[in-house]
Amino acid sequence: MDAGRRHFARAFRRNGREWLTFLLFAAPNLVLFAVFTYWPILRSFTLSFTKWNLLSPAPKWAGLTNYRALFVDPIFWRVALNTLIYAVTVVTVAQACAFLLALLLNRPLRGRAVFRTVAFLPHVTTTAVAALVWVIVLHPHYGPLSGLYATLGVNGPNWLESTGLALLAVIAVGIWKEIGFASLFFLAGLQGLPADCYEAAALDGARPLSRLWHITIPLMSPVIFFLLVTGFIAATKAFDSVAIMTEGGPVYPASSTYVYHLYKVGFRDFQAGLASALACVFFIITVAITALQFRMASRWVHYGE
Whats the size of the chain, residue-wise?
Answer: 305
pLDDT value of position 6: 63
> Distances in Å between the alpha carbon of 282 and those of 76, 121, 240?
11, 30, 18
Q: Return the minimum-mean-pLDDT range out of 9-18, 39-48, 225-234, 254-263.
A: 9-18
pLDDT value of position 68: 94
* Phi, psi of 271, deg, nearest 5: -115, 80
What helix, strand, coil percent values describe the chain, rounded to 5?
Answer: 75, 0, 25
E strands, the chain, are 50-51, 60-61
Instruction: Say if CB 257 and CB 242 are below 8 A apart.
Output: yes
The type of residue at 52 is W
pLDDT value of position 4: 57
Confidence at 23, pLDDT banded by 50, 70, 90: confident
13 half-sphere exposure, CB direction, 13 A CA radius: 5
Q: Is the pTM value of this prediction over 0.95?
A: no
pLDDT value of position 13: 63
Q: Is the pLDDT of residue 305 over 70?
A: no
Domains of the chain are 2-42 (no CATH), 65-297 (1.10.3720.10)
Q: Write a three-state SS string for 205-267.
A: CCCHHHHHHHHHHHHCHHHHHHHHHHHHHHHHCCCHHHHHHCCCCCCCCCCCCHHHHHHHHHH
Mean of per-residue pLDDT scores for the chain? 86
- In three-state secondary structure terms, 303 is coil
pLDDT value of position 96: 93
Confidence at 8, pLDDT banded by 50, 70, 90: low
> Which neighbouring-strand residues pair with 51?
60
Q: Is the pLDDT of residue 1 over 80?
A: no
End-to-end, the C-alpha distance of the chain in Å comes to: 42
Who's near 272: CB < 8 A, 6+ residues apart? 47, 50, 52, 53, 54, 59, 266
The mean pLDDT of 252-271, rounded to a whole number, is 93
The mean pLDDT of 207-234, rounded to a whole number, is 88
Q: What is the distance between the alpha carbons of residues 202 and 198, in angstroms, rounded to a whole number?
A: 6
pLDDT value of position 203: 78
Q: What is the distance between the alpha carbons of residues 166 and 134, in angstroms, rounded to a whole number?
A: 12
- In three-state secondary structure terms, 268 is coil
How many of the other CB atoms lie within 10 Å of CB of 165? 18
pLDDT value of position 117: 78
- In three-state secondary structure terms, 130 is helix
Confidence at 111, pLDDT banded by 50, 70, 90: confident
